[in-house]
Amino acid sequence: MIKREVVTDAMYNAIRLGATKMPPDIRAALQRALEEELDPMAKKHLEVSLQNADLSEKGNGLVCADTGFPMFFVHAGKSTVIEGGFNTLKACAEEATARATAECFLRPTMVHPLTRKNPGDNIGPGMPKMELIFDREDDGLEIIAAPKGGGSEIFGTFYRMMFPADGEAGIKKFVIECIKDACYAGKVCPPAIIGVGIGGTADLCMGLAKKAALLRPIGAHHPDPEVARLEKELYDAARKLGIGPMGSRGINAVLAINLDIAVTHTAALPVAVNAQCLVGRRWVARIDGNGNINYTGVLENA
């Protein structure tokens, strides 16, 4: 059985590390982009951003001050047992978020949508966002904490219900136009990771886009070769826009374009886009059945 305090600690440390460290695959991709860019301003944007991540790791600063929406993706196994049951996960996520906020690893950013009142601890209806996925074989828990910045979520979210006759051409047109809009003046903080959901219901479609943007390591592609082909075509197209880091003149508007699919209604073709910013914040805590925790910036799955 995994103790409640172990889960809370794992969530707290994962979101703290997520807010203060840049994942290694993201750093390597930004370094590659820096070597590739030609425009001095494009290069400067990346140099400064990489230095900023170094400063954050060395001191107690943050990879980005907008720690945004606190989110946890929790993968559980067939025989995972948590003290207090799975219901306790929500309370653990709240405790972890409040503690990280009190210690200035998260900015108090979540407010009531109508009164705009800020409780100061990032907790309220729906937040922290926690998604529980039962897809493991063992008795452990994998927790991915992803504090997601406002720029990428606010300016990088698009949805369109298309129809079967709109076809692949419609999907491509929609995605490339979304990327152009999202990267204008650096709104989503490019080079972005673009998640695209195709199919399902509206909420499922958007969830696919979000998870494709947040939870897939750079360089991994969809296992379905047809989907992977679309990813590559769109990636190559995005590099021809002439938009670079932070909306400058350049090549790297995106670090990756990740698609995911769900079956959908025979009358429908829903497409969703969700962007992740250049710092790609997420950190992983893996807890085994005995309560031992390992932390890593490396994502396991594709």
Nearest residue to 293 (alpha-carbon basis) of 36, 63, 9, 100: 9
Part of the chain binding another protein (CB under 8 A), chosen from 63-71, 90-98, 140-148, 293-301: 63-71
**Would you count residue 220 as binding another protein (CB under 8 A)?**
no
Using the rule CB under 8 A, is 116 a contact of another protein?
yes
292 Cβ contact partners less than 8 Å away, ≥ 6 residues apart:
none
Distance CA 248, CA 184 (A): 9
Choose, by CB under 8 A, the member of 4, 32, 136, 173 that binds another protein: 173
32 scored as a contact of another protein (CB under 8 A): no
Tell me the three state secondary structure of residue 50.
helix
The stretch among 160-168, 200-208, 255-263, 289-297 that binds another protein (CB under 8 A) is: 160-168
Considering the rule CB under 8 A, would residue 288 count as an interface residue with another protein?
no
Size of the site for another protein (CB under 8 A): 65
Q: Which is nearer to another protein, 66 or 94 (CB)?
A: 66
Q: Are 268 and 207 in contact (CB under 8 A)?
A: no
User: CB 85: neighbour CB atoms within 10 A?
Assistant: 9
Give the whole-angstrom CA distance, residue 222 versus residue 230.
Answer: 10
Nearest approach in angstroms of CB 245 to another protein is 7
Q: Is 186 in the site for another protein (CB under 8 A)?
A: yes
| Residue 143 is a binding residue for another protein (CB under 8 A) | no
Give the interface segment with another protein, choosing from 71-79, 136-144, 183-191, 209-217 (CB under 8 A): 183-191
Residue 65 in the binding site for another protein (CB under 8 A): yes
Closest CA to 143 of 153, 127, 152, 132: 132
Residue 87 found at the interface with another protein (CB under 8 A): no
* 190 near another protein, rule: CB under 8 A: no
Q: Is residue 60 involved in binding another protein (CB under 8 A)? A: yes
Phi, psi for 84 (deg, rounded to 5): 90, -5
CA distance 184 to 190: 9
Contact 245, 33 (CB under 8 A): yes
Q: How many helices (H) and strands (E) does the chain have?
A: 8, 9
d(CA 146, CA 299): 12
Q: Write out the residues near another protein by the rule CB under 8 A.
A: 41, 44-49, 51-53, 55-56, 59-67, 104, 107-109, 116, 118, 120, 150-151, 154-155, 160, 162-163, 165-166, 168-170, 172-174, 176-177, 180, 184-187, 189, 233-234, 237, 240-243, 245-249, 278-279
